[in-house]
Chain A
Amino acid sequence: MTTQNFTSLPQELQLATSAHVKYIQSLDSRKDEYDYWLTEHLRLNGLYWGLTALHLLGHPEALPRAETIDFVLSCQHENGGFGAAPGHDAHMLSTVSAVQILAMVDAFDDLETRGRGKAQVGKYIASLQNRQTGTFAGDEWGEEDTRFLYGAFNALSLLGLLHLVDVDKAVDHIAACANFDGGYGVSPGAESHSGQIFTCVAALTIAGRKELIDVDRLGRWLSERQIAGGGLNGRPEKKEDVCYSWWVLSSLEMIGKTHWIDKEKLTNFILSSQDTDKGGISDRPGDMVDVWHTCFGIAGLSLLEYPGLEPVDEVYCMPKSTIKRVLGR
């Protein structure tokens, strides 16, 4: 089953590109929606998810570039870190999203001239590393999670400042999060979880230390995420969810084992989770759409080489063209 024949898919199971573009564009006008203000602490992250999806759909211009840059810079603090929205305290996750957004719209110069500059951002991220354990906190209050470790590596490598942190210690910490089933958890001893696996594998890839991964065991565990309906779940005996199309698939890509799942079935599952009228993708067919699942559903389809999509970088979850421009590879 090596060839994908997308033209043989029925009309309903095609990617509704223009609907998705409109959906993402409409997001910033849904200001009175209750859910929208409840997720204010995710606003900058939301912008990253929306922008990534647009770039992969081939419509990077759909969000206004100047306003995007203005908004991102307005979230920056004295210490270089970015908050989730203007007035919100700086946090690792929003800082990473900020760097990714600026990379995609090619605005590092603006960061230098109008923002606090790359060096200051790097300094902020580096300050969040726990120098004893090697792991990273999300903010000054110290919640530690391998997501922050991956985020730090992601942003610092894009800024060319990975040397600011103790990479080896961080790598040791990741190794300590490895489990008996081949997977990785949020912290040592925690259950293997696809999301955490992605962060650990991607961080190891950026650090050039993939040899620490038990590839066969992990690949086996990841392949087992695909359930009968074709979708992927996050842990054994859990429901399938479109966002795992990214976390699991990109992990498989990084260890070179994407052929260990049925790609066509996964493609069908993602496409069935679209709202082809109003746009957007949900966690599984029939549920409400949101920008998070839209981003990762499209990223998953890009990894599956769905025609018409820009290639996505499996480590950074950004367009390969951006990574090529920023890192020169």
Chain B
Amino acid sequence: MPPKSKAATKPSKSLFPPTNPTTTTTTSIQTTSSSEPSTEPTTVLERSQQRYEKTRPFEAARQKQGGSSKLSKEDQKGWICDQLLHLTNRLPQASRSRLLGPKASKEIWWTINGTNSIDRGLTKKPKPHSTWGTDRNGHDVGSYTIERFDERIKKRTALTALLVSSRVFRENVEREKRGDLDARSGCPVIVTEREIDDERVRRSKMAALKKELYGEITGKLAGSVEWEDVVPIPHEEPEGALAAIAYPADYAEAMSYLRAVMATKEYSHRCLRLTQHIIAMNPAHYTVWLYRAACIFALKLSIPDEIEWLNEVALANLKNYQIWHHRHLLVEHYYPTIASDPEALAQFAKQERDFLIAILSEDTKNYHVWSYRSWLVGKLGMWEDQEELKSIEALIDEDVRNNSAWSHRFFLVFSNPEYSTPGKGATEADPKCPQHIVDREVQYAQQKTYLAPQNQSPWNYMRGVLVKGGQKLASVHAFVEEFVVKLGDETGEEIRSTHALDLLAEIYAEKGETEKADLCLRRLADKWDKIRAGYWNWRRQCLQSEKKAGPEQPGEEVTVA
């Protein structure tokens, strides 16, 4: 660029940028750092910054110096010209020439032309983070090398292309719904299987690219073709709620779709799959179970098949009780279809029992399983089912301390409508109960007591049977005595079961042998079961007041001397 002068030499509009920035007119630009020999840019940011400094040298200098007042006179003028050029560049010719006279225009061009500020100049100085944004790892894209940046651009282009094709697909789905006709063939628009498959592939590619470029995670459902027509209902959390929750993305997404289909009361196979998906993440969410049941019933699906699926879930979630209520609902629904077919009933009872045995082997005292089992006995009328009784016996054989099994046995035997009076209290004698049953059960309990004398289950059981049968406790006196050796003897006293001693006290009281009864209770309070001294001493007090035929004083604390 020739030295600036006011001589009327026509300035030639340079078409090429100065090859050597040191030939620019103003000396101060010459001395600023941007006129140093340019190093090859390593990053995208550097490249753009260099470009900026080349094409907007006056603006770059102003920024570097910290204000136009810091620039040399020539540079100030250069800067003003650059500004004017940019401000007027987009105006129509007529307005431009009104603002800038021909002389001014010429001067501006002389000053600026070599920098190619308009043609190739960047309006804003490139900045880290804001110009290209950040990638999925939070790094400034501007810090990428040129090659890496180019690769990113390629991916973004690919994503855009996919988005375009996907939009075409979605539009075709809409058109098919509306029954639109294809403009060329005149036939109704249909979306073929092939197109759906292609879209599925496309969607997964899009999801992968979005994740790679922006760290965006496309929910499985949002990205799936199957759920295209459903608008999910996100969770409404009141502002600043007490105890708000951050959900994992998967779960939140699935729940938003569940809300949507529950709102429209849709009962379909895809909803069934959705409930399965949610149950896998959170089997304790009871609404999901109830909705699943509704789907099963609405679709009239096979209950035994559902039960088979449920078995697997139950085994994997032993502490969950919704599973058992679900089973209850299923059986209630299924029962009328097999109620009049004894073979089908027996078959179903066997299947159920087989599973109950399997799951109880994992968790022998699971309360929900046992309460389901007792309900099932009543529902399917399994009172006389020998297999049921045998199964319980097997459990007791395995673990004589399994109180649940003992409890179920009592229920199975004594709630049998054959020999129980409906409405009779649990601890009331029932005359309908046959003697041979009472004898059998007492025998059974006694047999099992020997295996673990301190285990309370068979003792409670035996006592319960005697009460039910209206039999005197004294009828088992001899048995009980086997566990109490040398009662009251300072050196030789041996108590093999505190429950035996407890029962012995009751037997003595029944027989009127108050002294002996008191001795039993004293030994329990003082030595063999001190933790329950409060109870044993109350029993002693009862004995005394019975003796005096006075009223009991319930709830009174007794001080032990």
Contacts and interface: CB of A to CB of B under 8 A. Distances in A.
Interface of A: 1-2, 27-28, 31-32, 34, 36-41, 43, 46-47, 63-64, 67-68, 70-71, 74, 85-89, 91, 139, 141-143, 175, 178-182, 185-193, 214-215, 217, 219-221, 223-224, 226, 228, 230, 235-238, 256-257, 259-262, 265
Task: Give me the 9 closest cross-chain CB pairs, A-B, nearest first.
Answer: A180-B464, A256-B555, A191-B407, A259-B534, A260-B535, A28-B243, A189-B374, A190-B371, A189-B411
B414 A180 contact: yes
B33 interface: no
Given A187-B374, A236-B401, A238-B365, 8 more contacts: A1-B560, A31-B246, A74-B241, A87-B235, A185-B407, A189-B415, A190-B407, A214-B427
Contact of B531 (A74, A185, A261): A261
A261 B468 contact: no
B551 interface: no
A44 to B, nearest CB: 9
Given A86-B238, A189-B374, A43 B243 contact: yes
Contacts of A193: 367
B27 interface: no
Contact of B287 (A89, A189, A238, A260): A89
Nearest to A3: B559
Contacts of A237: 401-403, 455-457
B370 A191 contact: yes
B246 A37 contact: yes
Interface string B341-384: 00000000000000000000000010100110011011000000
B120 interface: no
Nearest to B467: A180
B408 interface: yes
A85 B401 CA distance: 41
A283 to B, nearest CB: 13
Interface residues of B, number: 68
B248 interface: yes
Nearest to B283: A38
A2 B328 contact: no
Of the listed residues A39, A175, A226, A235, the one surrounded by the most CB atoms of chain B closer than 10 A to its CB is A235
A256 B554 contact: yes
A220 B241 CA distance: 46
B483 interface: no
Nearest to A46: B243
Q: Main secondary structure on chain A at its contact with chain B? A: loop
A178 B560 contact: no
Given A28-B242, A31-B246, A175-B425, A191 B371 contact: yes
B285 interface: yes
Contacts of B377: 189
B532 A86 contact: no
Nearest to B236: A87
Contacts, number: 178
A268 to B, nearest CB: 12
A31 B244 contact: yes
B534 A260 contact: yes
Given A2-B557, A192-B407, A236-B401, A260 B532 contact: yes
Nearest to A228: B531
B382 to A, nearest CB: 12
Contacts of A40: 245, 285
A28 B241 CA distance: 9
B285 A41 contact: yes
Of the listed residues B245, B325, B532, the one surrounded by the most CB atoms of chain A closer than 10 A to its CB is B245
B284 interface: yes
A271 B241 CA distance: 33
Nearest to A222: B535
A181 B464 contact: yes
A216 to B, nearest CB: 9
Contact of A86 (B241, B248, B538): B241
Nearest to B244: A31
Contacts of B533: 1, 262
B309 interface: no
Given A71-B243, A226-B532, A41 B284 contact: yes
A46 B242 CA distance: 12
B425 A178 contact: yes
B282 interface: yes
A32 B252 CA distance: 13
B329 interface: yes
A260 B502 CA distance: 14
Given A31-B246, A32-B246, A260 B538 contact: yes
Nearest to B403: A236
B247 interface: yes
Interface string B440-459: 00000000000000011100
Given A223-B535, A262-B532, A265-B531, A257 B555 contact: yes
Contacts of A187: 371, 374-375
Nearest to A73: B238
Given A143-B325, A238-B365, A180 B426 contact: yes
A158 to B, nearest CB: 22
B267 interface: no
A259 B557 contact: yes
Given A89-B287, A180-B414, A237-B455, A189 B378 contact: yes
B290 interface: yes
B169 interface: no
A83 B466 CA distance: 47
A190 B402 contact: no
Given A223-B532, A237-B401, A141 B329 contact: yes
Contact of A70 (B238, B378, B404, B530): B238
A226 B535 CA distance: 12
A190 B286 contact: no
Contacts of A68: 242
Interface string B379-422: 00000000000000000000001111001101100110000000
A262 B244 CA distance: 42
A179 B408 CA distance: 11
Contacts of A46: 243
A265 B532 CA distance: 11
Contacts of B244: 28, 31
Interface in B460-495: 460-461, 464-465, 467-468
A190 B328 CA distance: 15
